[in-house]
Structure 1
């Protein structure tokens, strides 16, 4: 099957707000992580098409305390840049008044420094750029009322010169761009190409009206003029299978050509269309016409991203794909495997159709949850030799089926399969034990979608103990179903 970049994410699943930089012949990409810790996943690629997760940027409590964020808050829209042998990631912790912070590393796999915090810059989506004199500029989406009194509730793009060595700002922030007229100008990135500085932004909001816009100036601090063809990229008001496209970042390849990473979603089902994986990372190529970027999405991707995995916790530490929305990751169990606590031990769902298996002790009190947030989840819970399927949608919670489980080890099952109604999929739950594999209940997947729950994240698969005594998980297996 031919895969084109317009329809196929290069990093599928909940990996939004991509930012990329190149060092030599390697590319490094970071994404928003919101409430999940460790925070800010970082990937590496040699070709922009095939990506491998190196780890996470925020791995210590001194960088991002676990359990400190509500759903779809926490860490927003980081930018990654490289200069003079050092990697820089600048991001926003919205739980701390929208403060902007910078962490650094020589090795992108870590360790990363503790944050350099720049207070008094209320906003989101920061960017770092250096001018020809080596001065560092932090450009961000400002939410401070003092910077936008005549602009109503719309944010503006602001800029401030900073000293990263001393961790201070050198001036008051100033507005450099108010957008092209669409809603919510945000996600700024600055680039130098030839005699021009380019300011790339997201506009229209991160839903169906999302778009990529660009402006340029002879100076890093403006004044900026808008491209005559803005927005330079959007899928709004189309029937294209990938929607909400925007929040992009540009990178120059070694041969002088340019590429763009951006976020998009894959809604499915009847109107309004339901996306369940969150916002994913896509790739486009960029041509330059009259010194303006023109976006093309006709590249052919060589293979489907390899999302299948098996993790045997009896023999290896957790892969960096594992995160938690509320607490530290679990440690080893005395009997082998992982000792689950009450905090959810989670991994992002990567595909539209998939199967997940978790092998656990039959004596354990443990749950396998498909989670969008605290108010929207389905789970299968094993306790006292019985498996029960439960659902929560907003304030409503109910049991929807149960079955006995036999044997010493039980495999909890969940699959995302084709929808039987008008939703994006059905989620069915079951067990594999000494007797057989059998399904207990199937639930409409639309209620675990962003269109129902709101927010900015995607589904995760989470394991947790139901009692204070740690529960042992032996291994897990995730496989995609079908060919997307």
Structure 2
């Protein structure tokens, strides 16, 4: 239940935007005992469903993940951009609940529960009969549980039918759907009504949805009615939020959730994208904007771009055997600890090529979200008897990589820079003396003086540093083709380490994100 604001809304100037940067789409947020918890989508990556915590809506800590194990979500055959879609987090009678659809998986619509959002979470119970995506979970005045969802019925990733916004009573203990899903209000007629959330306030029920598709036509609309079951009447000023047709710095704004802010006013958390040039390399991120109420309807402020003014530096030395315990590590369709081991060579993280390199369906890859347009990522690698390196992954066919391997003579390391797109691969190579090298991938936002109508993206640079500190630049190119507009619609850049032949050993991993980007 969202209460009537008693104080002025939180000023947008006080809130960073993006709120949670990098690949963090489809946010849902709940306030419990003065603390905020937000979950976002994770698609084909494990651990799934990151959980973020804040007490002031400014500083957010990644405290864990709802589904760290593959058996909880069964992603082994889910294609890129399928998998764990659009969760909702809610709190009821002492338990946190996260409901989500896992597409292209036997799990379907799943509800996970935990007494503590840091975990552990339950194995999850599947709700048979919820054939759709973007489920919301709410309880009426009598404690009856309702799932409201988009009736986009998929067979794997193929569309079977789309019935708009649907709702049904459910039994969360047995996993049974207690009635045939009914049709609710499905928006203003824009394409793809989805992402429903229902709330009760001041004797009315409100149904918030997204429509217009998750791209540049994305929008947020709302309706209200006397009961959780409706009937619902749309707001006269729908859509209440959209960046479509504007030149705002934050585009694709939609898929929103409503929560009371720290100052008592309501806030809308939502997804959006920001461009580097004319493309969005970081994917869909979590944003926030303010809400004011008039005549029983919410009026939403446009979403500003207000990046954090401090840089971010992370360093992981693999002399520490717990370095992979940080919840921000990701692997594709497998848990990071099943891909990388800190025990095979003391003081090093070892990746062994078992399924393939960064471009494989099950890559031997461990990485982290890129959260800044201007960034630097480094790792020190000893290729030993193998081949591997440092790379950026968007999906199997859209990768950027620095690949290190020993030369046949054994006294040098050959490093190959590789830029891969569907049907196109370019490479550049060099050789440096020694047993190990530092690989570096840096990205830089376009110059602000560049004409905005010219196609461009961020600049990507691929460098190698030898044992004496000498640097060699292997490649520099426009990163626009590794973005959500041209490569993947739903996820974003993940940067990390991989093996593609034999065993390779990594000494450390360093990330720097530039302030204001």
Structure 2 length-normalised TM: 0.87
Moved more, 4-13 or 123-132: 4-13
The 3 A distance-change label for structure 1 pair 348 and 255 is closer
The 3 A distance-change label for structure 1 pair 388 and 301 is closer
Structure 2 partner of 1:378: 400
The 3 A distance-change label for structure 1 pair 299 and 237 is closer
Q: 1:19 aligns with which of 16, 28, 31?
A: 28
Structure 2 partner of 1:116: 125
**Residues 121-172 of structure 1, C-alpha deviations (whole Å, 9 max, x = no match):** 2211000000010000000000249xxxxxx975400001011122211111
Cα distance in 1 between the residues matched to 2:209 and 2:12: 28
User: How much does 1:480 deviate?
Assistant: 1.7
The 3 A distance-change label for structure 1 pair 107 and 53 is same
Cα distance in 2 between the residues matched to 1:14 and 1:55: 16
Structure 1 partner of 2:284: 279
Cα distance in 2 between the residues matched to 1:276 and 1:301: 18
User: How much does 1:299 deviate?
Assistant: 8.5
Structure 2 partner of 1:56: 65
Q: 2:137 aligns with which of 110, 116, 128?
A: 128
1:168 and 2:176 correspond: yes
Structure 1 length-normalised TM: 0.92
Unaligned runs of 5+ in 1: 146-151
Q: Is the 8 A contact 1:354 1:416 kept in 2?
A: yes
The 3 A distance-change label for structure 1 pair 166 and 183 is same
Q: Is the 8 A contact 1:4 1:297 kept in 2?
A: no
1:84 and 2:105 correspond: no
How many residue pairs align between the two structures? 472
1:464 and 2:473 correspond: no
Cα distance in 2 between the residues matched to 1:341 and 1:221: 53
**Residues 86-124 of structure 1, C-alpha deviations (whole Å, 9 max, x = no match):** 000000011137821100001101111012101232211
Q: Is the 8 A contact 1:97 1:122 kept in 2?
A: no
User: How much does 1:405 deviate?
Assistant: 2.5
1:266 and 2:258 correspond: no
Structure 1 partner of 2:465: 432
Alignment of 1:137-152 (within 5 A): 137-144=146-153
Secondary structure at 1:62's aligned position in 2?
A: helix
Structure 2 partner of 1:416: 443
Cα distance in 1 between the residues matched to 2:476 and 2:211: 38
**Residues 33-74 of structure 1, C-alpha deviations (whole Å, 9 max, x = no match):** 000011001100011121110011101232023533211000
Secondary structure at 1:191's aligned position in 2?
A: strand
Q: Is the 8 A contact 1:4 1:298 kept in 2?
A: no
Secondary structure at 2:189's aligned position in 1?
A: coil
Q: Is the 8 A contact 1:285 1:299 kept in 2?
A: no
User: How much does 1:177 deviate?
Assistant: 1.7
Q: Is the 8 A contact 1:66 1:328 kept in 2?
A: no
The 3 A distance-change label for structure 1 pair 198 and 341 is farther
User: How much does 1:409 deviate?
Assistant: 3.2
Structure 1 partner of 2:345: 334
Cα distance in 1 between the residues matched to 2:201 and 2:88: 19
Cα distance in 1 between the residues matched to 2:515 and 2:32: 36
The 3 A distance-change label for structure 1 pair 481 and 109 is same
**Residues 262-306 of structure 1, C-alpha deviations (whole Å, 9 max, x = no match):** 11001232xxx2111010001112111111111125889795466
Moved more, 275-284 or 469-478: 469-478
1:321 and 2:328 correspond: yes
Structure 1 partner of 2:416: 388
Secondary structure at 1:63's aligned position in 2?
A: helix
The 3 A distance-change label for structure 1 pair 306 and 197 is farther
Unaligned runs of 5+ in 2: 1-10, 155-159, 354-363, 407-412, 448-453
User: How much does 1:312 deviate?
Assistant: 1.4
Q: Is the 8 A contact 1:39 1:58 kept in 2?
A: yes
Structure 2 partner of 1:159: 167
Moved more, 451-460 or 327-336: 327-336
Cα distance in 2 between the residues matched to 1:220 and 1:367: 53
The 3 A distance-change label for structure 1 pair 479 and 409 is same
1:210 and 2:244 correspond: no
Cα distance in 2 between the residues matched to 1:132 and 1:193: 12
1:474 and 2:510 correspond: no
User: How much does 1:4 deviate?
Assistant: 4.2
User: How much does 1:325 deviate?
Assistant: 1.2
1:454 and 2:461 correspond: no
1:294 and 2:299 correspond: yes
User: 4+ residue stretches of structure 1 with deviation over 4 A?
Assistant: 2-7, 152-155, 297-303, 418-421
Q: Is the 8 A contact 1:5 1:283 kept in 2?
A: no
User: How much does 1:418 deviate?
Assistant: 4.2
Cα distance in 1 between the residues matched to 2:249 and 2:307: 20
Structure 1 partner of 2:360: none
Secondary structure at 2:70's aligned position in 1?
A: coil
